[in-house]
Amino acid sequence: MLIIGHQAIPYPKFVKIHSIQDINHTLANEIVWFSSTEDEDFHISTFCHTNQVCYAFYASTPSDLVIYANLGAKYIITHSLFELQEIARDYLLDTQILFVIDDMQEIAEMIAKRVDGVILASVLKE
């Protein structure tokens, strides 16, 4: 299980973006992330996929998962859509599902649910 945000485990910086132009202000080792609000007409995701920019997408539906997995998202972020994990497993998607947690005490529950990974909410702060 991937753990992003634990103080003892190195992890890449996640940078919230709102436009393609924001990508120009990020470093190659950072992971940009956004939601459907910022990705109207799939411009940002298409740009990232075409230019091999590592990105994460905040999904709110199972359709988001399937679409953005096909658009090359490295991670799909969700708070509580556990069905996304099942879909990713059933379809053998390369995209990893990250569940947002508020503190490390929640890891045991996520292990029991057999999720790909967790990300601390503090990592996603703008």
Residue 100: name the closest of 58, 40, 54, 46 by CA. 58
- Is the separation of the CB atoms in 107 and 99 below 8 Å? no
Q: Give me the domains of the chain, ranges plus CATH numbers.
A: 2-123 (3.20.20.70)
Across 111-123, average pLDDT: 97
Q: Which of 15-19, 35-39, 68-72, 110-114 comes out lowest in average pLDDT?
A: 35-39
Mean pLDDT rounded to a whole number for the chain: 96
C-alpha dihedral over 18, 121, 4, 113, to 10 degrees?
Answer: -120
Residues with Cβ within 8 Å of 108's Cβ and at least 6 positions away in sequence, in order, are none
Say yes or no to pLDDT of 5 above 80.
Answer: yes
Say yes or no to pLDDT of 40 above 90.
Answer: no
User: What is the three-class DSSP state of 84?
Assistant: helix
| Residue 126: band (very low, low, confident or very high) from pLDDT cuts 50, 70, 90 | low
Say yes or no to pLDDT of 84 above 70.
Answer: yes
Full-model pTM: 0.94
Q: What is the pLDDT of residue 125?
A: 86
Across 106-121, average pLDDT: 96
- Is the separation of the CB atoms in 31 and 15 below 8 Å? yes
How many residues does the structure list for the chain? 126
